[in-house]
């Protein structure tokens, strides 16, 4: 049996998933799971990349323990965050998390160098104040000395791949989220980088998913007890998740539902038009030169936050079931930046309801009901926008990722959009990661065949629209 290992790290947890093909179906086995979260360091929200790497190694040791040694492995994580390495390949300063507020006001400094319209026309990337372009401006203005010492810029999964192999490679899907990649050439926009005054030489050549990074270094082999090849998946988790959308048609709407709800479709050519910019759609680089044309919606981060505040020991399923019995109809704008990193999510949702003259939710279930209803409303608005911009009427919505388990939200989504909802697979990110590895190994022929295989391998629930 040939095993493949996906290490999929999200903002709140990470997991090691082994996969193999058996009787024509893709099988998955979770071998290790670990916590992730942001830490406060010097008043900033940061990631502990040292701890995360120790978890990566710990999970690999589990593979050895159960005797399932992967032929290849790859890591995907959230996007936009990066490390700067010095001339000895040591991390310079903090590894900031994208929800940190150091980027406040950095958009204005970027637009002094390039008008926002030009930036969108070149990169096709949505305005999110946490994009690496604004984070680098924060580095430039707040920690110039540090940026001056930087020899290499690596996105988080690329950094982990480097620690595993000693080889530095920059993967494309994640690079596109920096907002420094040109949507036409799919390469760094060096002209833009020069305009912004960022050091050109820190950016490595861009490589496509499926490329081999290298083999495990001797040091890592000694720790984990085996060697394997490290292959680039779509290292951006959303890039991986969208690969695993089990649709056999190209005209498909999807929601990759997790910490964020990423809702959109795939395009063969980027849409960098002013209309598209006005709706803040993004054209993130995808597998096989497809663009993920989507919108970031605040997503289950809102539920995760209120659960932490009001009912930390309760299962998400229970919160979702109870929310379904509430009758409150208040709605907030699930796209509003006020929900990005509020001091207290519950208070923020309540304040938004109060300010708009609506009933103020009390208790976890009412607050959750407001969030679920608000997400569904936002999904419906987004469907209308995409259909208008793309002149396509989509028949259904595929929801993938952990959020596909939220039955009440699926029901609300079907109702609000009028479209049939197909929910699953829930482990889309890990599956997408594996797909790129299996295609690279020749076990699956191409994306279309891999999607067919996912379609036949995992449970997909249907919720009829009305």
Residues marked as catalytic: 237
Q: Is the dihedral of CA 116, 120, 126, 130 positive or negative?
A: negative
- Residue 262: strand, helix, or coil: strand
Q: In terms of Cα–Cα distance, which of 433, 354, 375 is closest to 74?
A: 433
What span, in angstroms and rounded, lies between the C-alpha atoms of 301 and 334? 11
Convert residues 290-319 into a mask of x (bound to ligand LFR by CB under 6 A) and - (unbound). ------x-----------------------
Residue spans of beta strands (DSSP E) within 234-319: 253-257, 261-267, 282-285, 291-297
238 binds ligand LFR (CB under 6 A): yes
What span, in angstroms and rounded, lies between the C-alpha atoms of 164 and 7? 12
What span, in angstroms and rounded, lies between the C-alpha atoms of 87 and 202? 11
What is the layout of strands, in order, in the sheet containing 253-257?
A: 282-285, 291-297, 261-267, 253-257, 396-400, 420-423, 461-463
Bridge partners of 262, per DSSP, are: 256, 296
259 binds ligand LFR (CB under 6 A): yes
Closer of 156 and 193 to ligand LFR (Cβ): 156
Closest distance between ligand LFR and the C-beta of residue 363, in Å?
28
Closer of 262 and 435 to ligand LFR (Cβ): 262
Of the candidate residues 85, 240, 244, 262, the single one contacting ligand LFR (CB under 6 A): 262
Of the candidate residues 107, 143, 189, 237, the single one contacting ligand LFR (CB under 6 A): 237
Cα distances (angstroms) measured from residue 247 to each of 45, 185, 274, 432: 37, 28, 29, 13
Closer of 97 and 369 to ligand LFR (Cβ): 97
What span, in angstroms and rounded, lies between the C-alpha atoms of 227 and 216? 6
Span interacting with ligand LFR, options 82-90, 137-145, 233-241, 335-343, rule CB under 6 A:
233-241
Closer of 63 and 302 to ligand LFR (Cβ): 302
Span interacting with ligand LFR, options 46-54, 242-250, 256-264, 458-466, rule CB under 6 A:
256-264
Element (H, E) at 449: helix 447-457
- Residue 361: strand, helix, or coil: coil
What span, in angstroms and rounded, lies between the C-alpha atoms of 176 and 206? 10
Span interacting with ligand LFR, options 46-54, 72-80, 300-308, 452-460, rule CB under 6 A:
72-80
Closer of 238 and 457 to ligand LFR (Cβ): 238
Closest distance between ligand LFR and the C-beta of residue 150, in Å?
21
- How many residues touch ligand LFR under the rule CB under 6 A: the total is 13
260 binds ligand LFR (CB under 6 A): yes
Closer of 79 and 409 to ligand LFR (Cβ): 79
Q: Across the chain, how many H-helices and E-strands are there?
A: 18, 19
Closest distance between ligand LFR and the C-beta of residue 243, in Å?
13
Closest distance between ligand LFR and the C-beta of residue 176, in Å?
11
Closer of 10 and 246 to ligand LFR (Cβ): 10
Closest distance between ligand LFR and the C-beta of residue 464, in Å?
28
423, 399 contact by CB (below 8 A): yes
Closest distance between ligand LFR and the C-beta of residue 333, in Å?
18
Span interacting with ligand LFR, options 45-53, 236-244, 406-414, 453-461, rule CB under 6 A:
236-244
Closest distance between ligand LFR and the C-beta of residue 444, in Å?
24
Convert residues 73-112 into a mask of x (bound to ligand LFR by CB under 6 A) and - (unbound). -----xxx-----------------x--------------
Cα distances (angstroms) measured from residue 52 to each of 48, 55, 219, 388, 391: 6, 5, 17, 42, 43
Any idea what the Cα angle at residue 287 is, between residues 250 and 391, rounded to 5°? 35
Q: In terms of Cα–Cα distance, which of 358, 466, 368, 354 is closest to 413?
A: 466
Summarize as ranges the residues that interact with ligand LFR (CB under 6 A).
10, 78-80, 98, 236-238, 258-260, 262, 296
């Amino acid at each position: 049996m040939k095993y493949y290992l996906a290490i999929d790290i999200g903002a709140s947890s990470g997991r090691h998933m082994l996969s193999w093909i058996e009787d024509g179906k893709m099988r998955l086995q979770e071998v290790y799971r670990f916590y992730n979260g942001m830490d406060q360091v010097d008043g900033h929200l940061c990631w502990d990349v040292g701890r995360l790497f120790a978890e990566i190694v710990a999970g690999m040791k589990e593979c050895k323990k159960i005797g399932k040694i992967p032929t290849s492995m790859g890591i995907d994580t959230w996007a936009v965050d990066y490390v700067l390495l010095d001339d000895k390949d040591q991390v310079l300063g903090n590894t900031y998390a994208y929800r940190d507020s150091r980027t406040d006001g950095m958009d204005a400094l970027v637009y002094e160098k390039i008008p926002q319209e030009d930036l969108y026309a070149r990169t096709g990337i949505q305005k999110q104040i946490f994009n690496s372009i604004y984070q680098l401006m924060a580095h430039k203005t707040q920690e110039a000395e540090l940026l001056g010492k930087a020899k290499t810029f690596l996105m988080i999964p690329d950094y982990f791949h480097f620690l595993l192999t000693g080889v530095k490679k920059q993967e494309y899907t994640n690079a596109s989220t920096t907002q420094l990649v040109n949507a036409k050439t799919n390469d760094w926009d060096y002209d833009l980088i020069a305009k912004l005054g960022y050091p050109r030489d820190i950016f490595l050549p861009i490589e496509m998913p499926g490329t081999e990074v290298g083999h495990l270094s001797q040091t890592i082999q000694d720790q984990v007890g085996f060697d394997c090849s490290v292959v680039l998946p779509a290292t951006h988790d959303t890039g991986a998740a969208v690969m695993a959308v089990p649709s056999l048609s190209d005209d498909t709407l999807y929601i990759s539902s997790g910490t964020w709800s990423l809702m959109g479709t795939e395009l063969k050519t980027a849409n960098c038009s002013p209309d598209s910019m006005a709706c803040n759609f993004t054209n993130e680089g995808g597998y096989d030169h497809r663009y993920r044309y989507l919108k970031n919606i605040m997503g289950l981060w809102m539920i995760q936050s209120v659960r932490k505040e009001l009912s930390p020991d309760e299962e998400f399923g229970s919160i979702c079931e109870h929310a379904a019995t509430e009758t409150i109809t208040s709605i907030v704008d699930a796209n509003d930046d006020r929900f990005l990193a509020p001091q207290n999510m519950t208070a923020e949702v309540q304040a938004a309801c109060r300010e708009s003259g609506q009933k103020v939710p009390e208790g976890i279930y009412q607050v959750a009901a407001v969030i679920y209803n608000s997400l569904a409303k936002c999904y419906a608005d987004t469907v209308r926008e995409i259909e208008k911009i793309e002149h396509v009427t989509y028949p259904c919505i595929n929801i993938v990722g952990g959020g596909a388990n939220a039955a009440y939200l699926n029901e609300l989504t079907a109702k609000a959009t009028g479209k049939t909802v197909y929910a699953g697979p829930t482990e889309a990110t890990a599956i997408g990661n594996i797909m790129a590895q299996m295609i690279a190994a020749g076990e699956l022929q191409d994306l279309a065949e891999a999607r067919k295989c996912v379609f036949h391998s995992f449970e997909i629930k249907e919720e009829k629209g009305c």
